[in-house]
Amino acid sequence: MGHFRRSQIIHNFFKKKKIKIIKFPLKDKINSNKNNSYINEYFEKVFSLSYINTLIIDFSSISVIKRYKNLKKIIYNKAEKKEKKLILIDSIKSEKLSNKYCYKRVIPYYLKNNKIRDGFKYVIVDPKLFKIKKPSFKKTIKILITCGGSDTKNTLYICNQILKLNKEIIKKLNFKIIIGQFCKQSFYNKIKKKFKNFYNCKIIYGVKSNYYNYLWSDTVICGDGTTKYEALAAGRYAIVIKTNKSNDIYGKDFEKLGLFGFIKRNNNNSRKNVLSFLHHNKIKKLKKLTKHVNDFKSTYFKNSINNYYDLLKN
């Protein structure tokens, strides 16, 4: 859902700047046998728009790239035939198009000698998240679990890990588990059934904005997509589940900076890696990490969509 929200923020912002902008969301065709014909028709239509001279492509969804195996080839062919400027948002190494076609790449941030450079100003999340104050950490720790719009594997994995926790630990915790709006109703019912005897666990199906859920939370468990930037904007320390090797380019740097804790779902010791921070004697460490995230946020990670606009404009 992060990429959908980002495109909407960009769309609304450019409209306010009186710039003609049209949004063309890519439909989810995961159950279709006509993926390649659909993607070809989609880009044929986009590249044929005579009144559009610049295409901003959010090319960072790994699942979409895997789903449409000929995606890069199709874009190459369209770019050769039509004179359009291509700007790729949040593109990482494995998604890089040839410089021959790509006018500009916008990455969320980059490091040099373990220091953050200006890239953080180009992360686009809900501006309201930056206004959220750091959590108070009362007796009951509030944990938000959100793995994106369609990630059932990580959601199920974390839910099963919670169920393995000691009952005395669970009593001191409150959970909100977000089931993405692109997940099936049957998956939501499955998770809800798992937690039917839990008075301190709320299951929510399909939210368009997580603002109030971040506001409610003390800490976050999430996937490694745009959600991790939302957690940082809200000043929450996050436990992030790695879902692909490509995101290691970001993950290792974030981990070194002490902003997130990264774990692998297929790790045999993952129960300890994921939930060990919930033990009562480690809450003090969690509070220190949260303070560190908020200090970093106030220094580096600012809501500066105007800078993003200037980058594209120039």
pLDDT for residue 78? 72
The tens digit of pLDDT for each residue in 67-106 reads 555 666 667 677 776 677 777 776 655 555 555 667 777 7
Task: Render pLDDT for 36-45 as a digit per residue (tens, 0 to 9).
Answer: 677 677 777 8
pLDDT tens across 212-224, in order?
999 999 999 998 8
CA 18 to CA 2: how far, in whole Å?
A: 25
Quick one: what percent of the chain has pLDDT higher than 90? Answer: 21
- pLDDT tier, 62 (very low <50, low <70, confident <90, very high otherwise): very low
Averaged pLDDT of the chain: 78
pLDDT tens profile 237-293: 999 887 666 555 566 677 778 888 887 776 555 545 467 777 767 788 889 999 999
Cβ distance 226 to 125 under 8 Å? yes
Which of 51-60, 78-87, 116-125, 241-250 is predicted with the least confidence, judged by mean pLDDT? 241-250
Q: Per-residue pLDDT averaged across 197-202, rounded?
A: 91
Please say whether the beta carbons of 116 and 251 come within 8 A: no
What per-residue confidence (pLDDT) applies to 221?
Answer: 93
Please, are residues 46 and 56 in contact by the beta-carbon 8 Å criterion?
no
The H or E element that residue 58 is part of is: strand 54-58
Q: Is the pLDDT of residue 161 over 50?
A: yes
Residue 218's pLDDT is 95
Is residue 229 within 8 Å of 236, Cβ to Cβ?
no
Residue 169, φ and ψ in degrees, nearest 5: -70, -45
Q: What is the dihedral of CA 124, 127, 129, 130, to 10 degrees?
A: 100
CA distance 309 to 306: 5
Kindly indicate the confidence band of residue 110, based on its pLDDT and cuts at 50, 70 and 90.
Answer: low
**Higher model confidence: residue 298 or residue 143?**
143
**Alpha helix ranges (H) inside the chain:** 2-16, 35-47, 62-67, 71-81, 152-163, 167-170, 185-194, 211-216, 227-233, 248-256, 270-275, 283-299, 305-313
pLDDT band at residue 194 under the 50/70/90 scheme: very high
Give me the pLDDT at residue 273, please.
47
